[in-house]
Structure 1
Amino acid sequence: VCGFFFSILYLCLVSGLEITSTGPASIQKASGESAKLDCQFTLASEDTGPLDIEWSLRAPDNQREDTVLLYSGDRAYEDYYPPMKGRVHFNSPDPKNGDASISLTGLTSSDSGTYQCKVKKAPGIRSKKILLTVMVKPSRPRCYSEGTTQEGKDIVMRCVSKEGTNPLQYVWEKTSGNKLLPPTATLDTAAGTIIVKNASASASGSYRCTASNLVGTDECVLQLNVTPPPNTAGIVAGSIIAVLLFLLIIAIILFCFCRARHRKKYEKEICNEIREDVPPPKSRVSTARSFTVGSQRSSLGSMSPSNLHEYVKPQYDKIPSTEEYDRPPSHAPLPPPTASRMAGPNLSRMGGIPVMIPAQNRDGSIV
């Protein structure tokens, strides 16, 4: 065992393979950019074995290590790692000449990690590690104010970038007026907030917020307008007047609706009501003679035996005068009242003719 270890130590001491790169051991790049990882080496006459170059990536969490690309048997294997296919390649077309450097294009945050360049040419083995950090530029921040912007109130202005690798820093500045922040303003560069306590009208103006990290910056603009406090008494009075007007309109609408409904109901009742006080239509009187004869017959039929001797037969051969002819039937003399109604058989024996007389109301309407 001791002889084995001594032999390995001897080979390392006599080997002439060396990594000669003097580039930085840590690189920070923005996403989308390109990065160059240096790995130059020199060989000696003692290094007689085949040349192998291997680049590997260890993730920041140190959970796994993946081989990115290889050079073996005088051939480069650049599409060895699928996530970086087409984005990683050797800088030199022939790495065996002493340049094993690589270039990465289109960097993403998943490309961050520790890259190791390992050069092997028996009996020599050398390696170098480079830490690559791919950072995301801050996206365009959003500037806005929270809450009310009235005088005498505390005003909060915020600036937020949805994307960007920490640490992010936010800086507020005023770009109008005297270009000085209000004396009562408190700035938090990490949270991106600025609080103006007991704001006054002089705090109004244009403000700019700049979000930045190690790989980029972006900014947004906010226009702040501090308004005077509202007239509370006027608002209350206006609200009361508006409520009263609303109630008045509702009352008018209800009144009109009830009135229209009552009128409709009244008209419907009038249409369905039976009018008893309307007089019957007047019949046409052909001649005064026919009226006189008919009335006399009716009177004769309603007479009793007791008053039959008082009946005097009128003269039918007498021509009525013009006054009698024009006199309406309502002015014809009524027959004298009878004490009792004469029966039909008795009236027939006495030479009378029974006549059916329709019943009448007090106003003359036939029932």
Structure 2
Amino acid sequence: MGAPGRHTLWTLCVCFAALQTNALRVTMRESTVEVVRGDYVILPCSFFTSSPLSRLNIIWTMAPFSSPESPIQVIVYDHGQIIEDPSLIGRVGFTGIPWSADIMVNDTHVSDAGIYRCMVNNPPETADPGIGELQLTVLVAPSLPACQWDGDTDAGGSVTLSCSVAEGIPTPEIHWDKLNPEEISLPINMEGELSGSVQIVNVSSQTSGLYRCSASNVLGTENCYVNLSVFSAVAGNSSGILQGVLLTLSMSLMLLALLVLMTWLHRTGQDGRWRLSKEEEDEEGYNEIRYTPSLMKRSFV
């Protein structure tokens, strides 16, 4: 390549570098950010510009995960004025304007999660604004799960243990365990993302015990419990036999008491009649001796 060609190439490179230097650049220091619900979070957005900041324009938008095609405007900085979305007033703000486009969101809600875009424009630089993008995830600890059981607890029956949790981000993992007499992990049937059940067939006395459902994610674990008691047929028959024996014994005691009472009454009646007869005999004998005429005559002979 001759000297004229090399000069032309160098000129093009210099011009391109100048254009690149003068163009506004936006840099997102993080691509994903996580925050626990209720805490505050800083969403970073850095930019470089070679022009004065008198006409600086910054726009933050957020597209919810549930409806990414419907972004909302979070906050705007335009020629020294700040405009917040009405639903975020008091919870969102710039941290270093105009030198930085970082914003802070406090008292975070689950609805704050989504794709955030930072758009910066600073005329007279390039007409196309620089755009950065990041994803915000709001973490939620598992709520206290609700445990219940349903089915037949007689020996040979079937029982279903159910567990459900109202919320948790990331989605909590649900586990069922039997705690005593030894801890055993049980196979679980998931019924949606937030509930799971365990089916126990042909239950026996060994099925009885304390069962635990656990809901876990990166923020912790919550538990609920079910105390299951299985009634065996043998125990039921023994109970029936015992009740029959007690009933028979009670009736026997009542009959014995009645027999004793009747015997006593019978003897009491005979004794009364015997005493009455004896008294009558004595009285008749006395009267006969006292009033017999022959005896009176003999007494004076």
TM over 0.5, yes or no?
A: yes
CA distance in 1, matches of 2:108, 2:69: 21
Match of 1:73 among 76, 79, 87: 79
- Is 154-163 or 49-58 further displaced after alignment? 49-58
Cα offset, 1:91, TM superposition: 2.2
CA distance in 1, matches of 2:170, 2:21: 47
Match of 2:224 among 208, 220, 225: 220
Amino acid at match of 2:200: V
Cα offset, 1:35, TM superposition: 2.6
**1:185-212 CA distance string (max 9 Å, x none):** 5322554111222222222222221113
Say if 1:186 and 1:196, in contact at 8 Å, map to a contact too: no
Alignment partner of 2:187: what SS? strand
Cα offset, 1:48, TM superposition: 6.8
Taking only aligned residues, the RMSD between alpha carbons, in angstroms, comes to 3.3
Amino acid at match of 1:192: G
Cα offset, 1:63, TM superposition: 4.0
CA distance in 2, matches of 1:197, 1:90: 61
TM-score, normalised to structure 1, is 0.52
Alignment partner of 1:68: what SS? strand
CA distance in 2, matches of 1:151, 1:91: 67
CA distance in 2, matches of 1:20, 1:194: 50
Cα offset, 1:36, TM superposition: 2.1
Alignment partner of 2:231: what SS? coil
CA distance in 1, matches of 2:108, 2:150: 37
Partner of 2:253: none
Alignment partner of 1:149: what SS? coil
Cα offset, 1:142, TM superposition: 0.9
Cα offset, 1:89, TM superposition: 1.2
Cα offset, 1:138, TM superposition: 2.8
Amino acid at match of 1:173: D
**1:293-337 CA distance string (max 9 Å, x none):** xxxxxxxxxxxxxxxxxxxxxxxxxxxxxxxxxxxxxxxxxxxxx
Pairing 1:98-177 to 2, within 5 Å after superposition: 99-122=100-123, 123-124=125-126, 125-165=129-169, 167-177=171-181
In structure 2, relative to structure 1, the CA distance for the partners of 1:12 and 1:152 (3 Å cut) is farther
CA distance in 2, matches of 1:12, 1:225: 80
Match of 1:96 among 91, 95, 98: 98
Task: Tell me if 1:43 matches 2:45.
Answer: no
In structure 2, relative to structure 1, the CA distance for the partners of 1:204 and 1:135 (3 Å cut) is same
**1:28-77 CA distance string (max 9 Å, x none):** 44433333211122233x56762221111223323433221122223433
Higher relative contact order (CA 8 A, sep 6+): 2
CA distance in 1, matches of 2:81, 2:26: 21
Say if 2:27 and 2:132, in contact at 8 Å, map to a contact too: no
Cα offset, 1:127, TM superposition: 1.3
Amino acid at match of 1:82: P
Partner of 2:12: none
Pairing 1:244-259 to 2, within 5 Å after superposition: none
Percent identity between the aligned chains? Answer: 27
Alignment partner of 1:192: what SS? strand
Match of 1:19 among 4, 19, 26: 26
Partner of 1:58: 63
TM-score, normalised to structure 2, is 0.62
Task: Tell me if 1:32 matches 2:25.
Answer: no
Amino acid at match of 1:55: W
Say if 1:15 and 1:47, in contact at 8 Å, map to a contact too: no
Amino acid at match of 1:52: N
In structure 2, relative to structure 1, the CA distance for the partners of 1:234 and 1:202 (3 Å cut) is closer
Alignment partner of 1:202: what SS? helix
Between structures 1 and 2, the one with greater helix share:
2
Task: Tell me if 1:211 matches 2:211.
Answer: no
Pairing 1:277-316 to 2, within 5 Å after superposition: none
